[in-house]
């Protein structure tokens, strides 16, 4: 899923009433109506923009021949990849969310940080970044231990993402007092 799609979903969740269905998610965020493999669930949640840059950098590093395999650079690229996922999701969300606030200054249920969306993106990116060919982990491990570790990371990451997916398809807009804001109108706190 692109950062654009992820943050569009986050804004849609903020404008939909708490618990109501939200459309516009990615594959795998539909609550299970679509049959997917673990790898499909994982890759559909990874923000594609940072992933493209990370993949290109890892491919370039892998092409360079070195005794130490540029292990420090590979791990640095991984950490930077995760930081860019968080930053790009937050920046894109902040740019898209409505800026109007009620007269009383209450936030009307709008979030400042799309925490669930960021958590699902980082979970998927972290798992994929470790399991990707050429990653620091792939260079450090060999044989069966590499195969088993990558399988566990992929399945575990996808399982975590699939646990978050049903919540990504429901509205999160609640009034400041925690009650549903079913009218869509600004609420005041007494």
Measured between alpha carbons, how far is 164 from 115 in angstroms, rounded to an integer?
11
pTM higher than 0.75, yes or no?
no
Measured between alpha carbons, how far is 140 from 182 in angstroms, rounded to an integer?
53
Report the chain's terminal Cα–Cα distance, integer Å.
41
The dihedral built from the CA positions of residue 164, 12, 102 and 119, taken in this order, carries a sign that is positive
| pLDDT tens profile 90-130 | 998 888 877 655 444 445 557 788 898 899 999 999 999 99
């Amino acid at each position: 899923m692109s950062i654009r799609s992820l943050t569009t979903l986050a804004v849609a969740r903020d404008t939909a009433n708490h618990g109501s269905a939200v459309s516009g998610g990615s594959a795998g965020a539909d609550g299970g109506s679509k049959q997917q493999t673990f790898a499909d669930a994982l890759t559909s949640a990874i923000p594609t923009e940072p992933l493209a840059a990370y993949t290109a950098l890892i491919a370039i590093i892998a092409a360079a021949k070195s005794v130490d395999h540029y292990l420090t650079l590979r791990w640095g690229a991984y950490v930077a990849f995760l930081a860019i996922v968080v930053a790009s999701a937050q920046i894109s969300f902040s740019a898209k969310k409505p800026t109007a606030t009620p007269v009383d200054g209450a936030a009307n249920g709008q979030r400042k940080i799309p925490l669930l969306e960021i958590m699902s993106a980082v979970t998927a990116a972290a798992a994929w970044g470790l399991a990707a060919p050429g990653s620091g982990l792939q260079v450090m491990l060999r044989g069966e231990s590499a195969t088993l570790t990558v399988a566990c990371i992929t399945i575990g990451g996808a399982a975590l993402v699939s646990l978050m997916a049903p919540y990504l398809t429901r509205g999160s807009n609640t009034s400041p007092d925690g009650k549903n804001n079913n009218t869509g109108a600004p609420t005041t706190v007494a």
